Amino acid sequence: MISRRLFAALLAASATSLSSAAVATPSRPNKAKRRATPSPRKRPAPRRQPPSAAAPAHGGPTGGYAQRPEVLAWAQEQLAGALAGWQLEDVLTVLDQAQYQPRVAQLILPPPVGVAKDWAAYRDRFIEPRRLQAGLRFWAANEDALARAEQLHGVSAALIAGIIGVETFYGQVLGSFRALDALCTLSFDFPGGRSDRSPLFRRELAALLQLARAQGREPADFKGSFAGALGLGQFLPSSWLSYARDFDGDGIIDLTASSADAIGSVANYLQEHGWKRGQITHLRCEPPADAAARERLLAPDIDPRWSLDDLQNAGLPLPTEQQALLSEQGPWALVQLENGEQPASYWLTSHNFWVVTRYNRSAYYAMAVLELGERLRQLRLAGT
């Protein structure tokens, strides 16, 4: 607890910083971009930078967040916004418990330049025997909740199981950082070496406090990833507040202890982001032989813009038996995933594939969760 005397001193110290825009105005929301831990850019390689490169821009490795003028200014700003109804002293009491985490500051850095993307290697990290076995156990143990989520939200049980498997290995890798530490580190000591995303994490920090109060828990009790993502589906606090659901009917939302709550929340998240019931997500294809036509189709990336006619005019080889489906379920994007030194792989992807990337904005990620889920579905059908 912060003493009254310290509290008064902090208020006095904040006077100038409050009037000098010490707190960055958050830019437009970008909440899904790094929601989940695994993307090709997120978990590669052991370490990317020596510890000194991740040193905080200001303050020090001891944190001391509640004593820093710019943090106080942020806290005061929140009282008129996300934390309306809170007392400043209560916010500072929470912040006073936060510790700077150098490992968090390292993990947020991008991988070294020059590391080639490799879909085959990425896929093999997730679609492997141990994760498949864990996925089959998870599906069997949660058959009812998965079927209910599929029925209610239109999102396939396979995709929900694929997401939870890639995110946390079915709850085996939930993250051991205190979300309060991770979010304070990234909010107020965001490292140099990549674009500053601290405004996003300051919004998530405020959301964590809101979430804790809504749940009658202490903010310091929440544990998760280095980016503050929580539970089986790795929801950031703001996503928990907006999209999480009590799916087992016990009156509370627990995305860590309740598999059913996590399942219902993942399905609800996708539905709220525009999932279309019954639409397929992707089809393997060959690229157009003509390089210019290929580049033109690839230009919009995962944004589906191309009709069947567009694809045919570009010279994309399309089996006749696929054409009715392509016509009904378009428009399409052409997605290219690189395979290191080997030739790239190509798919036609739909609006629903784009929706999966709202969970984590990476085509590699989306393809991995879809393929893991599909493999699990096939194994179940085969009675494995």
Nearer to Ca ion, 173 or 257 (CB): 257
Nearer to Ca ion, 252 or 324 (CB): 252
- Best CA proximity match to 203, nearest among 168, 159, 239, 252: 239
Q: Should residue 143 be labelled a site residue for Ca ion when binding is judged by CB under 5 A?
A: no
Nearer to Ca ion, 258 or 271 (CB): 258
Q: Should residue 265 be labelled a site residue for Ca ion when binding is judged by CB under 5 A?
A: no
Nearer to Ca ion, 17 or 258 (CB): 258
Cα angle, residue 110 at apex, residues 108 and 116 outer, rounded to 5°: 145
> Which one of 229-237, 254-262, 339-347, 373-381 is the stretch in contact with Ca ion (CB under 5 A)?
254-262
Q: Which of 90, 246, 272, 338 binds Ca ion (CB under 5 A)?
A: 246
Is the separation of the CB atoms in 249 and 255 below 8 Å? no
Number of residues forming the site for Ca ion (CB under 5 A): 5
| Helix locations, the chain, DSSP H | 4-19, 69-79, 88-95, 102-107, 119-126, 129-141, 143-153, 157-168, 179-188, 198-215, 237-243, 259-272, 291-298, 308-313, 323-329, 351-356, 363-381
Q: Which of 70, 77, 150, 167 is catalytic?
A: 167
The answer to whether residue 341 is catalytic is no
> Which one of 32-40, 125-133, 139-147, 247-255 is the stretch in contact with Ca ion (CB under 5 A)?
247-255
Interface pattern 193-232 for Ca ion (x via CB under 5 A): ----------------------------------------
> Which one of 68-76, 86-94, 245-253, 344-352 is the stretch in contact with Ca ion (CB under 5 A)?
245-253
Alpha-carbon gap, residue 129 to 133, rounded angstroms: 6
- State residue 274 phi and psi, 5-degree precision: 105, 15
Alpha-carbon gap, residue 259 to 153, rounded angstroms: 17
Q: What is the dihedral of CA 238, 242, 246, 247, to 10 degrees?
A: -110
Interface pattern 155-184 for Ca ion (x via CB under 5 A): ------------------------------
Q: Which of 250, 290, 303, 328 binds Ca ion (CB under 5 A)?
A: 250
The pair of structure tokens assigned to 137 is 């156990």
Nearer to Ca ion, 57 or 257 (CB): 257
Catalytic residues, which ones?
167
